[in-house]
Structure 1
Amino acid sequence: MIGTVVLFCVLHLAVGKKNVLFFAVDDLRPQLTCYEGADFPSPVHPPMHTPNLDALAGRSLLLKRAYVQQAVCSPSRTSLLTGRRPDTTHIYDLVHYFRKLGGNFTTIPEYFKMNGYISAGMGKIFHPGAASGHDDPISWSVPYFHATTYWENRDNSWKAIPDGMLKEKPLVDFQIKEQALKTLNEFTSGGQYEGKPFFIAVGFHRPHLPFVFPESYLQYYPEEQIRLPTNEYAPVDMPSVAWSEYGELRTYLDQAKLNASGNINTSLPDDDVRALRRAYYSAVSWTDSLIGEVMGEMESLGFANDTIVSFWGDHGWQLGEHGEWCKHTNFELATHAPMMVHVPGMTDDGIVTEKLTEFVDLFPTLVEAAGLGSMDLCPEVSNNVTLCREGESLVPLMKNPNAPWKDASFSQYPRLQNGTKIMGYTVRTDQYRYTEWPKFNYAPEYKPVWTDLFGVELYDHKIDPEENRNRAKDPAYAVVAQGLSKKLRAGWRAARSPQPGPY
């Protein structure tokens, strides 16, 4: 499985339309300098080297608190690309295809293609393989591009490749970058698509496992700067259903030799934790450099003033905090991911918002920013509706980052415990994260059984931003828990009209 991707879309103003450059990055938590402060994923980290994304953030709407709808690749990407939540797409795993299980929903690249754009995709945008109908061909105007794999395998969870060895056998993300440059040039004078508007989606694989990158990127993270997490233990009073045994990491041969169980309150050897964290940081900086090259080419070709640029990571990632690794949870570190949108003439001076936003908000944002009108809100039952939204356009926040806004974001994650199917639903408010783990009925209902709970969590981010203590059973939080339970079960529609309350 390949992880987090950043989508980079360029919308060109040729024939009166803005281009879109759509970047996706796999498994990227907000480990970027522009997120320094309360919204950074961990207080323990070296200085990050992400100059290109920081520069993009400086002329974008930077969403400091954006949350994915499910912290794993295919469900998250499917949700973002269709503007629908997992309980609508019915995609909770890496196997099923939304058009067969959820509905014949219009996707972001398909929508722009329908509106006269040349849509081109490369790398990881949808989750590859059957889970996306093999990259959802109807979404693209031209054949989809995948790179050739030379170095990425399951022998090592990370590897720094000597730069000189990458000339004849380049890393996959280098090949994707080269394809992006080639594609951009097809829209210049004399190119195959000269004068046509474009939607170019560039999906980078790193920093997804294995963390493979040019050796020179280790220079940004000296070994003596790499520290262990301060909380290598599970949250106090955490229900077991909240835990993931991080099997994705443990299947790599170098990790399997350590015989890590993945059990609650166990951890990897300190040296291994430091090495993995250093490799992840290096892979992030490698990806940042590639995005910088694509951005530089876009600007040199004269597209900068009429191209919308969006960037996102498909979910967060746990780097040993709580003793956890990978995603596959409802914790803050798994559901919180970076997102930014640059719209020429609107965000040039940089706009930062702390409003709670969601990945389903991107689809209506790009449509409105490109001047293609607005999208209707989805009805309660929308499986037969091909085009609608379950998120909000972010354009109002570009005009006023403190504009009235929804007061919660929603995520979910499935579990199978002793043969029982469970769905963990979590709501993030300004101060709290609250999660309930009810029994879940799949097809045809796709509904939780709220009366049959397998765990409840409540974290107070005002005093516990690392989510180290579950306060769901604390009598001092009884009233808060009751209100948050009501908000969670009322769902995202109710959160669109914030109600007064201490939640």
Structure 2
Amino acid sequence: MVLVLGLLGSGSLLTRGAAAETSSPKGRYNVLFMMADDLNNALSCYQHPLVQTPNIDRLAARGMKFDRAYTQFPLCNPSRASFLTGLRPDHTRVYDNAVHFRENVPDVVTLPQCFREHGYFAARVGKLFHYGVPTQIGTSGLDDPQSWDAVVNPRGRDKDEEDKIFSLVRGQFGGTLSWLSADGTDEEQTDGIGAAEAVRLLEEHRGERFFVAVGFYRPHTPYVAPHRYFEMYPLDRVPLPEIPPGYFDTVPAAAITLKREERAMDEGLKRQAIQAYLASISFMDAQVGKVLDAVDRLGLADETVIVMTSDHGYHMHEHGLWQKRSLFEESARVPLIVSVPGMKHAGKATSGIVEMVDIYPTLADLCGLAMPPHLDGQSMVPLLENPDLPGKPFAVTQVTRGGGKNVFHGYSVRTARWRYTEWDGGERGVELYDHEKDPGEMRNLGEDPAYADVRAELKKLIPNRGGN
């Protein structure tokens, strides 16, 4: 196992010191920001009938669960660049996994940087800003050095034993369905190492205000977890969504992200992939539990805001699709739990609509920090104080298709009842789904004349490229 630990250079520390001298008084709370990679809402606290996530569940029991939280772009780098800067993707202009956001918005103050400039100790463990998994495990990838005082880049047995991983395409892992029921212990895995390092940071900095961000790698492909997590999900109990014949003909071609090797999977292989994904979720949940245990053991619960989320949702054969980059609910929706010391509505859920771009202003608001003027989101504190509020009138999620001169955009708006999606301004197709009658989004009303007025109203909510 290899662990890379970096403390940022003296110049950065001097910058932090200068900021602390001129900042507002220390914030009200510490922040522990935890996120999984490629995690959908397959959690027991989100009523999944099979998945066991007791640790995320206990966080939900002492926090608030957001049932309608949406990513702005269901791909790792664009999503992370968006919510960590507080800017929508059309403002960061990050639409793929290769561009660093500072190429386009060089002076933006990120979420952790904002806390750092207010005198907090800011540290990262694992993947917060983007880097490729598993290729760049153990490195900093597209990290943002000026956001942190210290960084930890864990690397574990899962990275060192890639030759044992099964993949639909031999030797490909990051964007290809791949998995391994692994030998050894949790502590040998990258996320196990990351959890231990997060605990160490909490122990070392318990006496000062901190913003500690912990980015877990699972359940991102390859789905690697020790054997016991696979044993939790016998193949004969693994659910496999059914897709009616001719379904793909009812939606625009741009809505379908199915790869050739995925089309070739038989039912047995599909169940193995889902089993591995669920096993990875439960493994990740166990590492979350270690960090939560440390918060309680160190007496930090009464002064620490805790957030648990993911960068976007994920498909496990819903709509016949796998992985991410779609504009269906499974890809656009994310789990989001926020726990605030002494909160009045602990254990409650809200159906109010929120977006990931709202996380930055919410944490600044909760901690009493001055918010940078550039933020595109809005604070979720009103919902934390009253979960019956409706939240935003709608959320916006976008993706791209094609490449180079042939690239085009898809935008989707989600209201309390409807999801409306346009591809290339409607030139390459339109989708409309009624969540009151069709929560699975399986009946596309995009060309049904009976819903022309609904489409016309929802079309007004689609943003102009580069606009709000």
Same-fold call, TM cutoff 0.5: yes
Q: Is the 8 A contact 2:72 2:356 kept in 1?
A: yes
CA shift in 2, pair 1:94/1:491, >3 Å: closer
Higher deviation after alignment, 22-31 or 94-103: 94-103
- Is 1:140 the equivalent of 2:148? yes
DSSP 3-state at the match of 1:341: strand
Amino acid at match of 1:79: S
CA distance in 1, matches of 2:453, 2:248: 21
Matches within 5 A, 1:60-459: 60-128=63-131, 134-148=142-156, 149-152=159-162, 155-156=166-167, 157-163=178-184, 170-188=188-206, 195-231=207-243, 234-246=247-259, 260-262=260-262, 266=263, 268-347=265-344, 349-374=346-371, 376=373, 388-403=374-389, 405-416=391-402, 420-438=406-424, 450=425, 453-459=427-433
Q: Is the 8 A contact 2:351 2:390 kept in 1?
A: no
CA shift in 2, pair 1:56/1:334, >3 Å: same
Could you report, residue by residue, the CA deviation over 1:449-500 in whole angstroms, capped at 9, with x for unpaired residues? x4x7221111122222111122111111111111111222479998xxxxxx
DSSP 3-state at the match of 1:340: strand
Higher deviation after alignment, 25-34 or 178-187: 178-187
Q: Is the 8 A contact 1:316 1:333 kept in 2?
A: yes
Q: Is the 8 A contact 1:408 1:430 kept in 2?
A: yes
Could you report, residue by residue, the CA deviation over 1:51-103 in whole angstroms, capped at 9, with x for unpaired residues? 11111011112110100000000000111101110000000000001111234
Amino acid at match of 1:390: D
CA shift in 2, pair 1:261/1:303, >3 Å: closer
Q: Is the 8 A contact 2:314 2:323 kept in 1?
A: yes
Could you report, residue by residue, the CA deviation over 1:390-443 in whole angstroms, capped at 9, with x for unpaired residues? 1110100011112353210001000117952210011011111111112xxxxx
Alignment correspondent of 1:460: 434
Could you report, residue by residue, the CA deviation over 1:115-138 in whole angstroms, capped at 9, with x for unpaired residues? 101111011101027999731000
Q: Is the 8 A contact 1:98 1:104 kept in 2?
A: no
Amino acid at match of 1:26: D
- What displacement does 1:15 show? 6.1
Amino acid at match of 1:238: V
Q: Is the 8 A contact 1:18 1:308 kept in 2?
A: yes
CA distance in 2, matches of 1:491, 1:58: 40
Alignment correspondent of 1:27: 38
Q: Is the 8 A contact 2:345 2:385 kept in 1?
A: no
Return the TM-score normalized by structure 1.
0.79
Q: Is the 8 A contact 1:159 1:211 kept in 2?
A: yes
Q: Is the 8 A contact 1:241 1:437 kept in 2?
A: yes
Could you report, residue by residue, the CA deviation over 1:145-184 in whole angstroms, capped at 9, with x for unpaired residues? 33243234665311111336x67xx111111111111111
Amino acid at match of 1:467: E
Q: Is the 8 A contact 1:267 1:323 kept in 2?
A: no
CA shift in 2, pair 1:466/1:132, >3 Å: farther
- What displacement does 1:226 show? 1.1
Amino acid at match of 1:216: R
CA shift in 2, pair 1:267/1:473, >3 Å: farther
Amino acid at match of 1:395: V
CA distance in 2, matches of 1:344, 1:125: 24
CA shift in 2, pair 1:215/1:356, >3 Å: same
Amino acid at match of 1:312: T
Alignment correspondent of 2:174: none
Amino acid at match of 1:242: A
Alignment correspondent of 1:499: none
Amino acid at match of 1:415: R
Identity of aligned residues (%): 38
CA shift in 2, pair 1:298/1:348, >3 Å: farther
CA distance in 2, matches of 1:210, 1:144: 21
Alignment correspondent of 1:471: 445
CA distance in 2, matches of 1:298, 1:399: 23
CA distance in 2, matches of 1:72, 1:151: 26
CA distance in 1, matches of 2:402, 2:383: 39
CA distance in 2, matches of 1:171, 1:228: 28
Q: Is the 8 A contact 2:27 2:367 kept in 1?
A: no
Alignment correspondent of 1:4: none
CA distance in 2, matches of 1:141, 1:317: 32
| Bigger share in helix | 2
Higher deviation after alignment, 460-469 or 290-299: 460-469
DSSP 3-state at the match of 2:402: strand
Gaps of 5+ in 2: 1-24, 168-177
- What displacement does 1:268 show? 1.9
CA distance in 2, matches of 1:417, 1:127: 20
Q: Is the 8 A contact 1:235 1:468 kept in 2?
A: no
DSSP 3-state at the match of 1:434: strand
Return the TM-score normalized by structure 2.
0.85
- What displacement does 1:346 show? 1.7
CA distance in 2, matches of 1:159, 1:171: 12
CA distance in 2, matches of 1:348, 1:300: 23
Gaps of 5+ in 1: 1-13, 41-45, 189-194, 247-259, 377-387, 439-449, 495-503
CA shift in 2, pair 1:415/1:138, >3 Å: same
Amino acid at match of 2:242: T
CA distance in 2, matches of 1:118, 1:428: 37
CA shift in 2, pair 1:235/1:459, >3 Å: farther
| Superposition RMSD in Å | 2.5
